[in-house]
Amino acid sequence: MMHKRFILLLGALALTGCQVPSKKERRQLDSMIGKQTTDVVRTFGVPTRQFVAGNHTFLAYINQQTDYTMPMSGWGWDGGWGGWGGYGPGWGMGGWDGGWGGMGGGMGTAYTYTCQTTFELVNGIVTAWTMRGDGC
C-alpha cells in the first residue's frame, strides 16, 4: 500500500514540474489571439504547413529536435607475469601475458522529438492556438 502511494506521489510531482507551454510562451501565444495573419507570420515566420477549411485557416509551426546517444566504449589492456616453475632439478621458463583488448561499444540511437504549434484563424483573425507533441 505504501509503495502505491509513493508511486502516485512521484507521478504527481513529475506532472507538476512539466508545464507546457511555459508561462512566457503562453503569454506570447495568448497575445496573438485577435491578431491578423500577417502578425502571426511576422512573429513566428512562414508556417511549416497551412490548411484551409471554409473561412477557417490553420497555420502550423513544426519544430523538431533529435537527440543522439552513443554507446559506452573504450580500450582494454591485459597484462601480467606468470610464475617461474621448476622441472626437477632445473628451472622452468617464466610466463608473460599482455595485449590489447578490442574496442567496446555498440550501436548508437537517435530519437526525434516534435512539437507542433497551430493557430486557428477565422476570416484572417487568430481565434485559438494549440500545442501538441512529445517535444513541447
Spatial strand order in the sheet of 125-132: 49-53, 56-69, 109-122, 125-132
Please tell me the predicted confidence (pLDDT) of residue 77.
54
pTM beyond 0.75: the answer is no
Domain 33-69+109-136, CATH:
3.30.1450
Tens of pLDDT, residue by residue over 36-78, are 999 999 999 999 999 999 999 999 999 999 999 887 665 555 5
Element (H, E) at 27: helix 23-31
For the chain, the structural domain boundaries read: 33-69+109-136
| Residues contacting 63, CB < 8 A, separation 6+ | 114, 115, 116, 117, 135
Closest CA to 47 of 108, 84, 38: 38
- What pLDDT, in 10s, does the model give residues 80-115? 555 555 555 555 555 555 555 555 556 889 999 999
